[in-house]
Structure 1
Amino acid sequence: MTATDLDACKRTAALKAVEYVRDGMVLGLGTGSTAKHLLMALGVKVRNGMKLRGVPTSQETADLAAQSGIALLQTDEPWVIDLAIDGADQADPAFNLIKGGGGALLKEKIVAAAAKQFIVMVDYTKQVSVLGGSFPLPVEIVPFGWRSTVRQIENVTQSRALVRERGRAPFRTETGNMIVDVHLAAIEHPRQMETALNQIPGVVETGLFVGRTDLLIVGKPAGAEVLTASRT
């Protein structure tokens, strides 16, 4: 599978997600490579007369949405988001996710939590039997006392935690925080892990999205597969 083929799978998932968008909706707009395909497809809908407003999860997404003709809500407005659509770095069989590879996990989770429905688009390589392993868990932390926070994260997870860097400096999110990537062999109990990490002072949010996904759209070479979450 080449990078071009994989990108085609992402586009397939994004185009299927667009089918759930209706005129007049307020959309939560995700961040990442699959979300870029989504925004391009939405731009076609807008140019054909569809009225949409959006809440972007990053400045990159805000810029792409504006280019696509999607009116953006201000961040200090009380949102009523009809549908949030985003990608993921991993998705397990229960539709629990790891997100945050692009560093936008805090805004992404705020938007997902505010939405009436949350659709996640992935290419088939992002489906895993258990979270972790090949992809680290991002954890967003405040800069103050970060070394102590990292030590506590390692104590809780019993795993190695590395501060994400850009160049030779710590990576900073759009909200001014840092990202710690926790390398876990497997996350057998994502809800318990999310709760334990969020109890550490200095942790802002984790990249675990547990029990939030309503629909998982998987892009495959043969087309898109739509999976519905079971709430039982």
Structure 2
Amino acid sequence: MDSKQLKLSTFDDALNHIHDNMVLGIGSGSTIELLVPKIADKVEREGLDLIGVCTSNKTDYIAKERGLKIVDVNDVDHVDVAIDGADEIDGHLNLIKGGGGALFREKVIDSMARKFIVVADESKTVDYLGQTFKLPVEVDKFNWLLIAKRIEKDKNVKAIRRMADDVPFITDNGNYILDLVLYDKINPYEMHEYLIHLIGVLETGYFLDTAEEAIVGTQDGVKIQYKDE
């Protein structure tokens, strides 16, 4: 199966977490864009009363187009379940996210959730974070270059401002993304603490100790991993 088929194979298990009278956090990225129509079909088929909060403007648009009831995150005081993708998943269910540039909003909603579930294909599983994917860091446009130089001076990394069609990529929050090439196996907890205290850094793409379950599509079938399993 190709990566799309592997993603699709995870959806039945993910949809089993969606029930009546719940607030659902809906993530971002290619996997979630495939999942949203399946969520809408389930809501319509079963007549569910469901409220959604989305981690990006794009997901918000897709969900509303499919008839889902979507509200602003400030209009809810909790999220029952959040379902999102990931760019990397390690053996402890720690993640790197932000390949789509929505890492701040993803972290807000995923951290609010009583249960945060990750859906992905097997290519996202790694031995350690940073093994295959750059670490996204959302930064203010005002001092982005100073931040990049500071990080490169202090750490063995390369900080690259993300571009899209030859212009700087802008997040839904109006900021830049620095993608950090991690040359070494870095302690994610220490790196996050270092980065988050730099003036101008809004958030990092490390999602540590937040996911409780990962539903992973593999060539040998769907595998479900639980935190600290």
Q: Same fold by TM-score, threshold 0.5 exceeded?
A: yes
- Equivalent residue, structure 1, for 2:90: 92
Gap regions ≥5 residues in structure 2: none
- Equivalent residue, structure 1, for 2:43: 46
Q: Secondary structure at the match of 1:155?
A: helix
Alpha-carbon distance, 1:186 to partner: 4.1
- Equivalent residue, structure 2, for 1:169: 167
Q: Secondary structure at the match of 2:202?
A: strand
- Alpha-carbon spacing, 1:34–1:75, altered in 2? closer, same or farther (3 Å): same
* 2:22 equivalent to 1:25: yes
Task: Report the residue type matching 1:122 in the other structure.
Answer: A
* 2:176 equivalent to 1:178: yes
Task: Report the residue type matching 2:17 in the other structure.
Answer: Y
- Alpha-carbon spacing, 1:186–1:70, altered in 2? closer, same or farther (3 Å): farther
> Pairwise CA RMSD of aligned residues?
1.4
- Equivalent residue, structure 1, for 2:57: 59
- Equivalent residue, structure 2, for 1:12: 9
Q: Is the 8 A contact 1:217 1:227 kept in 2?
A: yes
- Which aligned segments of 4 or more residues in structure 1 are displaced greater than 3 angstroms? none
Q: Is the 8 A contact 2:156 2:183 kept in 1?
A: no
Alpha-carbon distance, 1:78 to partner: 3.8
- Equivalent residue, structure 2, for 1:37: 34
- Alpha-carbon spacing, 1:145–1:90, altered in 2? closer, same or farther (3 Å): same
Whole-angstrom CA distance in 1 between matches of 2:201 and 2:185: 18
Q: Is the 8 A contact 2:213 2:227 kept in 1?
A: yes
Gap regions ≥5 residues in structure 1: none
Q: Secondary structure at the match of 2:211?
A: coil
> Which of 73, 76, 85 is the matching residue for 2:74?
76
- Between stretches 81-90 and 133-142, larger displacement belongs to 133-142
- Equivalent residue, structure 1, for 2:104: 106
Alpha-carbon distance, 1:25 to partner: 1.1
Alpha-carbon distance, 1:68 to partner: 2.5
Q: Secondary structure at the match of 1:194?
A: helix
TM-score, normalising length: structure 2:
0.95
